[in-house]
Structure 1
Amino acid sequence: MKTPETIVAEIRRRLTAKWHSDIADNEAAFPHSFPLGRPSASDLRADYATVHAQTVVWQDWARSRGVELTYETRLAKGGTKQSVPTHIHIDSTDRAAAIVGETWPDRLARSRERLVILREHFPYLVDLGRTIRLVDSYSTVDFSLLLTVAGWYLENPSRAELGITPRQVPIPGVHAKWLQHHIAGVRALTGITDLGLLPRHPPRIHFTYLDPDHRASGGRIHDSATVGDAFTPAYVPEIVVISENKDTAIHFPPLARGISVEGVGKGGKTPASFVWLRSAPVLVYWGDIDRDGYEILNGYRVDFDRDIDSILMDPATYAAYEQFGTDLDQHGKPIVAGDPKPVGRLRVDERTMYERLIDPHHKGHRRIEQERIPLSQALNAVAETRG
């Protein structure tokens, strides 16, 4: 016979999958009966005491939650007839939410309030269940902005033909990132699949020329390149150093035929788009000694399809500079241990350091920012890599 914990998990799964359709009257998720599992005839004959104990547990559980059990009569030890529970009956979505707990009761109440608003202001919506699920994660402010933006487009549908950027949409309180993150909701409420918003600009990289002869000649030191645009650097680099910190990249020491590139976060698709960068004879990545740093390094190797060298991200460097570390991320939030992500492109020493930093039993700092390491050390490390 299943345990109450197992049944609660099944109720949660059904609630998660169908709650939106249920409250929108599209498809009822409840009432629903969940099977408890059927003891075998041999168990009833040999050990009815255990079955009886399980029955009592279920009776107490059902009574405390106001739900009903379904029984069947079974033959037990000595040929006696006993009532054995077979199903637990959950009569409504609200009952299921109360049993599962967590945020579910408040979540359903909030969604029903929003459902009333959507029915009143957008009566033509066909699949209200799908829409209410779409806006489920919206904060109160975001939902209010959604109604405002959808109303603005519906007031004059030709506004979808303005050809403006998300930042240029003239609605108070609406900024580009909000519209980009909530555009699916606007489309759902308006039925306008193309809002006429101009695409974001192509990604670009920023980099610094490190070659001392080039810098002495009066050529530009800092440059940028846009993906898809025709561009040739001032010289084809023999060595490229990708540095996740902007200041570190800008102030990297002079390096013959070198270029330092400012990192772009996780994944290296943008810098990998440039042949002159991707094909540099020596390609080095330098990031923070923390979880993100190693995951970014792994992503660069995947996107470049190349075993990029790393510098100053090994256990020896960690040991030397751990005293300058921190346990806060770049947003000032505590760094916590966690499960590893797929990082199959890390080398052995990198993987060792990565696993140490995410180990809940790790005693040292979980992050050493690359700025804490002198640039002279980085230059020496690059020279060793260059051979």
Structure 2
Amino acid sequence: MKTPPAVTEDIRRRLSGRWHAHLTGEERAFPHAFALGRPATSELRADYSAVHAQTVQWQDWARAHEVVLDYENRAAKGRTTQPVPTHARVASIDHAASIAGGVWPDRLARARQRLDVLRDRHPHLVEVGKTLRTLDAYRDVDFGLLLSVADWYREDPARANLGVTPRQVPIPGVHAKWLQSHRRGVQALTGLDDLGLLPGHPPRIHFTYLDPGHLAAGGRVHDSATAGDRFTPAYVPETVVISENKDTAIHFPPLAGGISVEGVGKGGKTPASFPWIRDSPVLVYWGDMDRDGYEILDGYRADFDRDIDSILMGPEDYETYEAFGTELDQTGRVLLPGVPRPVDRLRAEERAVYLRLLDARHTGHRRVEQERIPLARALEQVELVRQRVADRDAH
């Protein structure tokens, strides 16, 4: 038999998946009878006292939450027949919200208010439930802006043909990035498949030439390239070092035939689009020793579809530099334990540190920034990788 906390979680799941459709009338999610699980006959006959204790627990919970329990008579020990609870009946979506607690009562109240507004101002809106769910995360100020922007487009449909960037749309009170991040909501309310906005800028990479001969000859130090453009670097690198942070990429020590590339956050699709990076004989990634650093590394290996070498991200490196670590992320929030993701492309030593940093029992720092590690040490590690690759290719 399930426990009250387990069924409470079942109620939350049903709310999470169906609240929007229930409020719009697209689906009737409540009332609903939640199954409590059925104890085996052998359990009833061997130790009914344990089942009785659970029954009492359910009755106490039901009284506290005004829930009606369904029962069935079951054969128990000593050939007696005993009532055993089978279902908890939740009478309405508001009843479910009160049991789920937390933000749910306020969330439903806000959703109902917004649904009334949508039906009043956009009576021909299709997929009302889906739209209501999309707008659930909007703050009240953003919901108000959304209505204003949708009205602006609906006043003159030709405005969808302006051909401007999201920052250039001339709507009073709408700041530069608002439309860019709320495009789906505007499209839902206006019914427009296209808001007439120019596509976003193509992604770019920034990198630094490290080859001593190139630099001594007066060649440029820093460069950039745009994905999709025809571009050839000053020389085809023998080694590419992708660094998570800008400072370490820009100031990486001289390296024969080397180029250091500034990381572009999670995922490596942009740098992987450049053949001279993707096909470099030696390709190295260096990131922070924290959750993001290891998940980024895993994502890069997926996007490059090759086994990228990492440096300074193993257990010994963590032990050496942990004293210089921090408990805060880049936004100043305290780093907390977490649930690991399926980072299948991490090597065993990388995964060991990743899991350690997410473990609730871990007492050390959960983040060691790569800037705290001397660049001379990073250069040594890259040279070791180059030697390993050379030895492997020689055989």
TM-score, length of structure 1 as denominator length: 0.91
Question: Secondary structure of the equivalent of 1:151?
Answer: helix
Question: Secondary structure of the equivalent of 2:240?
Answer: strand
Gaps of 5+ in 2: 388-395
* 1:129 counterpart residue number: 129
* 2:164 counterpart residue number: 164
Question: Secondary structure of the equivalent of 1:125?
Answer: coil
Offset at 1:163? 0.8
Aligned CA distance change for structure 1 residues 241 and 103 (closer, same or farther; 3 Å): same
Offset at 1:276? 1.2
Offset at 1:358? 2.2
* Amino acid corresponding to residue 234 of structure 2 in structure 1: A
Aligned CA distance change for structure 1 residues 102 and 84 (closer, same or farther; 3 Å): same
* 1:211 counterpart residue number: 211
* 1:15 counterpart residue number: 15
Question: CA offsets, 1:294-330, max 9 Å, x none?
Answer: 2222222222222222222233333332222111111
Aligned CA distance change for structure 1 residues 65 and 233 (closer, same or farther; 3 Å): same
* 1:102 counterpart residue number: 102
Offset at 1:72? 5.1
* Amino acid corresponding to residue 286 of structure 2 in structure 1: W
Question: Secondary structure of the equivalent of 1:186?
Answer: helix
Which of 286-295 and 109-118 deviates more? 286-295
Gaps of 5+ in 1: none
Q: In the aligned structure 2, how far is the partner of 1:226 from the partner of 1:111?
A: 43
Q: In the aligned structure 1, how far is the partner of 2:324 from the partner of 2:160?
A: 53
Q: In the aligned structure 2, how far is the partner of 1:44 from the partner of 1:329?
A: 53
Q: In the aligned structure 2, how far is the partner of 1:214 from the partner of 1:264?
A: 25
Aligned CA distance change for structure 1 residues 52 and 199 (closer, same or farther; 3 Å): same
Contact kept? 1:285, 1:310, Cα under 8 Å: yes
Q: In the aligned structure 1, how far is the partner of 2:343 from the partner of 2:247?
A: 27
Q: In the aligned structure 1, how far is the partner of 2:219 from the partner of 2:43?
A: 87
Question: CA offsets, 1:212-264, max 9 Å, x none?
Answer: 22223333221111111111111111111111111211122222221111111
Aligned CA distance change for structure 1 residues 114 and 217 (closer, same or farther; 3 Å): same
Aligned residues: 387
Once the two structures are aligned, what percentage of the paired residues are identical?
Answer: 68
Contact kept? 1:163, 1:197, Cα under 8 Å: yes
* Amino acid corresponding to residue 116 of structure 1 in structure 2: D
* Amino acid corresponding to residue 354 of structure 1 in structure 2: Y
* 1:386 counterpart residue number: 386
* 2:195 counterpart residue number: 195
Q: In the aligned structure 1, how far is the partner of 2:352 from the partner of 2:55?
A: 50
Question: CA offsets, 1:63-118, max 9 Å, x none?
Answer: 32223234456676777776554433222111111111121111101111111111
Which of 66-75 and 26-35 deviates more? 66-75
1:243-254 equivalence runs, <5 A:
243-254=243-254
* 1:277 counterpart residue number: 277
Contact kept? 1:98, 1:105, Cα under 8 Å: yes
Contact kept? 1:336, 1:358, Cα under 8 Å: yes
Question: Secondary structure of the equivalent of 2:136?
Answer: coil
Q: In the aligned structure 1, how far is the partner of 2:52 from the partner of 2:124?
A: 55
Residue 135 of structure 2 corresponds to residue 139 of structure 1: no
Offset at 1:57? 3.5
Contact kept? 1:166, 1:175, Cα under 8 Å: no
Which of 46-55 and 87-96 deviates more? 46-55
* Amino acid corresponding to residue 207 of structure 1 in structure 2: F
Contact kept? 1:131, 1:188, Cα under 8 Å: yes
Aligned CA distance change for structure 1 residues 285 and 126 (closer, same or farther; 3 Å): closer
Offset at 1:61? 2.6
Question: Secondary structure of the equivalent of 2:223?
Answer: strand
Aligned CA distance change for structure 1 residues 214 and 49 (closer, same or farther; 3 Å): closer
Aligned CA distance change for structure 1 residues 151 and 211 (closer, same or farther; 3 Å): same
* 1:353 counterpart residue number: 353
Aligned CA distance change for structure 1 residues 164 and 36 (closer, same or farther; 3 Å): same
Offset at 1:165? 0.9
Residue 263 of structure 2 corresponds to residue 263 of structure 1: yes
Question: CA offsets, 1:132-157, max 9 Å, x none?
Answer: 11111111122112112111111111
Q: In the aligned structure 1, how far is the partner of 2:370 from the partner of 2:159?
A: 47
1:368-383 equivalence runs, <5 A:
368-383=368-383
Q: In the aligned structure 2, how far is the partner of 1:44 from the partner of 1:359?
A: 40
Offset at 1:283? 1.5
* 2:241 counterpart residue number: 241
RMSD in angstroms over aligned alpha carbons?
2.5
Aligned CA distance change for structure 1 residues 158 and 364 (closer, same or farther; 3 Å): same
* 2:30 counterpart residue number: 30
Q: In the aligned structure 2, how far is the partner of 1:45 from the partner of 1:239?
A: 72
* 1:68 counterpart residue number: 68
Question: Secondary structure of the equivalent of 1:135?
Answer: helix
Contact kept? 1:243, 1:263, Cα under 8 Å: yes
